[in-house]
Structure 1
Amino acid sequence: MKINMLAAGLLLIGVSLAAVNMYYYLEGTLSIQQVKMDSPLPVKVTEASSDKQWPLYDVKPSVGEKFAELYIPRLEQVFPIYEGTGTEVLRTGVGHYIRSALPGEENHTILSGHRDTVFRGLRHLKEDDELVVTTPEGAFTYKIYRIRIVTADDHSVMAPKPRATLTLTTCYPFYFLGNAPERYIISAKLINKQRVITWNPSR
């Protein structure tokens, strides 16, 4: 009898964990918006001025706040970007490392996402592909110049940059059970920026 009760308890725990994981998986994947290549982004822009100090984020986003979107043309997908990289944030979208630069700023902007939900399509990207980040401040286009794999403890990927750079990071290998031992790193340089007239985030 005790063995049967123990087996039933373990089964219940297993089913519960599977249900929770499925919920988190769906929460992440449902945050992705599929778009057509010729579909207009939810933003109206104008050419940026030559002011090197722009963009100026007068109010920094608070932790957990959605403040931007990432559009990847090759994948035809738009992802919500939230401030911070805590567990709750990464379950619902892409997270921005708080200590890194905000999109469009000089220096280094770092975004992170789970390999099995929002960033599972990163493996399809190639050098020279574009990444577009939109915020209420501007629309910023980056071009990928490097894709590499590093160990999980390689902190060089967080280093400051002499120019506006965007880094996407996720765990690697993409198909791996448990804590993945490596990181998939995509580096892109800012090639264009436009001021936003109106910004209508999709979510």
Structure 2
Amino acid sequence: MKKLAMVMMTAGIICLVYSGWNIWKGRQLQLSTLQQAKAMTNEVGNSVKEQGKYSSSKKIDKNIIGVLEIPRLEKELPIVEGTTPDNLEKGVGHYKTSALPGNKDQIVLSGHRDTMFRRFGEIKKGDTVTLKLKSGSYLYVVDHMKIVHADDRTIIHSTKPKEELVLTTCYPFHYVGNAPKRYIIYAYPKTTRRP
């Protein structure tokens, strides 16, 4: 019995260390991606460069396209091109088939509920979100939210000539495993009302 207890305790410690290592590694990757995104959009100040966390001499990941700011959550999140599992570990993923800001069509960004979009449910109607890209900053106002089934593919579609920002994540927020639904936030350019 003592040997079994020791084996179980050792296995538990190994699992905790492994999980902790993965969480730390993921946060470091996200921080690095955010710093590169800020550098790319000219938002990195001298203080970060002086700390040696990011140097302009380092190569910027070609998949990084910008920064998503969510004031309600006091968050700045890196935006990467694509929604592969590797990309979503780095930041918020931009669906390649959707538009980019300023192109008067639907922009779709997706993130994991337990990393990038933690506290996502706290966002309210009327809140603002900003997308900062090389081409400039784009301010959007949250208009409404909805919950859909995970298999619902009608969310992603052209909205030409109206620009629409769609933020998606898995739902319920505290679900363990593959969540059966998606939480969708719709936002529109500040100067535009809902179509």
Instruction: Tell me if TM exceeds 0.5.
Output: yes
Structure 1 stretches lacking a partner, 5+ long? 34-40, 44-62, 194-203
The 1:180–1:136 alpha-carbon spacing in structure 2 relative to 1, beyond 3 Å, is: same
Task: Give the structure 2 partner of residue 76 of structure 1.
Answer: 74
For this pair of structures, how many residues does the alignment match?
A: 166
Task: Give the structure 2 partner of residue 145 of structure 1.
Answer: 143
- Indicate the structure with greater helix content: 2
Deviation at 1:121, TM superposition (A): 2.1
Question: 5 Å matches for 1:16-165?
Answer: 18-19=19-20, 21-23=22-24, 25-27=26-28, 30=31, 42=43, 65-162=63-160, 163-165=162-164
Deviation at 1:191, TM superposition (A): 1.9
Q: Which amino acid aligns with 2:23?
A: M
Q: Which amino acid aligns with 1:26?
A: R
The 1:9–1:75 alpha-carbon spacing in structure 2 relative to 1, beyond 3 Å, is: closer
The 1:24–1:110 alpha-carbon spacing in structure 2 relative to 1, beyond 3 Å, is: farther
Structure 2 stretches lacking a partner, 5+ long? 35-41, 45-60
Deviation at 1:18, TM superposition (A): 2.9
- Superposition misfits of 4+ residues, deviation over 2 angstroms: 6-33
Q: Which amino acid aligns with 1:86?
A: T
Task: Give the structure 2 partner of residue 171 of structure 1.
Answer: 170
The 1:187–1:169 alpha-carbon spacing in structure 2 relative to 1, beyond 3 Å, is: same
Map Cα deviations across residues 20-42 of structure 1 (whole Å, 9 max, x no partner): 64345534764697xxxxxxx93
TM-score by length of structure 2 reads 0.72
- Taking the aligned partners of 1:181 and 1:27, their CA distance within structure 2 comes to 29
Q: Which amino acid aligns with 1:74?
A: R
Deviation at 1:170, TM superposition (A): 0.4
Deviation at 1:15, TM superposition (A): 5.6
Q: Which amino acid aligns with 1:97?
A: Y
Q: CA RMSD in A?
A: 3.1
Map Cα deviations across residues 29-77 of structure 1 (whole Å, 9 max, x no partner): 64697xxxxxxx939xxxxxxxxxxxxxxxxxxx961111111111121
Deviation at 1:160, TM superposition (A): 1.4
Larger relative contact order, structure 1 or 2 (CA cutoff 8 Å, min sep 6): 1
Give % identity.
Answer: 38
TM-score by length of structure 1 reads 0.69
**3-state DSSP class of the match of 1:18?**
helix
The 1:144–1:82 alpha-carbon spacing in structure 2 relative to 1, beyond 3 Å, is: same
- Taking the aligned partners of 2:102 and 2:142, their CA distance within structure 1 comes to 15
